Chains A and B, each alone.
Chain A
Amino acid sequence: MTPNGEILSALEDFDLTIAPGEFFAIVGPTGCGKSTTLGLIAGLARPQAGEVTLFDAPVDGVDRRVGFVFQQDAVFPWRSVLGNVMAGPLFRGVPKAKAESTARDWIARVGLKGFEAHYPHQLSGGMRKRVALAQTFINNPQVLLMDEPFSALDVQTRELMQEELLQLWADAKSAVLFVTHDLDEAILLADRVAVLTTRPARVKSVHTIDLPRPRNVATLRYDEKFIAIARSISDDLREEVLRARAGH
């Protein structure tokens, strides 16, 4: 990421520049290295060759300006909702009282008011995802990496969470890099969508999604413009999925 807030991600011949505050989605066939890329940007893994740069400096460990929402549940099962949401600020040295009041605020913003004392096993999958969103947004990330965050949810819950995410993102103004294999989801949420090739991952094409905001996730699906965009990108994507299945 450059000083003016651009993310530059390279995987082989893999170059992407993301503007500050932009919602950027990556779709590609399963196993093409999408999750690996996010792990490298987050500093959770080190590249075997080459370099990842963020804010104009090589990534060396985890950067506090980065948030990450995982595909699987990553809430702490032995902590209450409040304890989970407070975790980030407490790790970062925020005084307990301040962390708690901020956490209560975020819990209310993701619609979990009244569930502060509940433990993750008492919540539904969608509610645990809300906890994960509050845990992430409370740290005020400038760059938000999301690795198929809603893929484990049922269709109705997923739609609600997408709506919720768009609202949180509109307030937080962070740059989002959203990885998914669901093309509809990518188009509904993002400003731009990149289609990746099968391994080695290259950017096959980048599409600007020219749909007005704020978007209504529930109705946008049936909009003619949405369908036209989805059709053009899906031809692109299908080609890669078939190539992946053929074992290229």
Chain B
Amino acid sequence: METMVERQRRRARLVLALRLAVLVFLVGGWEFGVRFGLIDPFFFGQPSGIAAKLVDWFENGTSIGPLWKQIWVTIYEAGAGFLIGAVMGILCGIALGRNQLLSDVFSIYIKVANSIPRVVLGSIFIVALGLGAASKIALAVVMVFFVVFANAFQGVREADKNLIANARIFGASDWQMTRAVVIPSALSWILASLHVSFGFALVGAIVGEFLGAAKAWAS
């Protein structure tokens, strides 16, 4: 008889093997598609060509400096934008979620701002903030902010009414309520939004670089 652990291990190995098979099939299909002339390498590249270029970049550096530096700059922009956007989003979400007047006054403006296609702001930021990291960080911030804000706000609003009533009976002040009940219940919403929004931060940083970046900014 197989034990439970053995069965789980066997299943894990099966999943891994199937995943590798899918990878080999896709990449191999692409490579052979190019070799047999079914896919135009001018538009779609070729896995072996991509690998050769990466090796070249690692060994000799890119035309604008070493590869690790390029990667670091992008991660720095995305990370900084993500941090600033997430912190602002969480603070604003909780403040508006907890204060009815603030939310009545500002929610309409947030909706309007949210309807602006964010990528368009990229060009404006580049003109206003220059070709350096600041414009990419700003774009990443606006990409992240609205997602995190919407989730934090909703999380605060969805806090269990029974728990809030209970804390009020126990004598919690507004601030104690926010800290002890509202933030912990909103946390699962906020964490879920952070997963999604890190991807958006990367999009913001890379689109910003597309639009125009200073050469070898970090040096």
Contact = CB atoms under 8 A, between A and B. Distances in A.
Interface of A: 42, 44, 62, 64, 66-68, 70, 72-76, 78, 87-88, 91-92, 135, 139
A66 B181 CA distance: 20
Interface string B106-125: 00000000000000000000
21 contacts: A42-B169, A44-B168, A44-B169, A62-B168, A62-B169, A68-B165, A70-B165, A70-B166, A72-B162, A76-B163, A76-B180, A76-B181, A76-B184, A87-B170, A88-B171, A91-B170, A91-B171, A91-B172, A91-B173, A92-B171, A139-B170
A44 B165 contact: yes
Given A62-B171, A139-B171, A74 B165 contact: yes
Given A76-B180, A76-B184, A78-B184, A88 B163 contact: no
Nearest to A74: B166
B185 to A, nearest CB: 8
Interface of B: 160, 162-163, 165-173, 176, 180-181, 184
B167 A87 contact: yes
A73 B162 contact: yes
Contacts of B173: 91
A147 to B, nearest CB: 10
A73 B180 CA distance: 17
Nearest to B172: A91
Which residue, A68, A74, A78, has most C-beta atoms of chain B within 10 A?
A: A74
A49 B172 CA distance: 27
Contact of A74 (B162, B171, B180): B162
Contacts of B166: 68, 70, 74-75, 135
A68 B167 contact: no
Contacts of A62: 168-169, 171
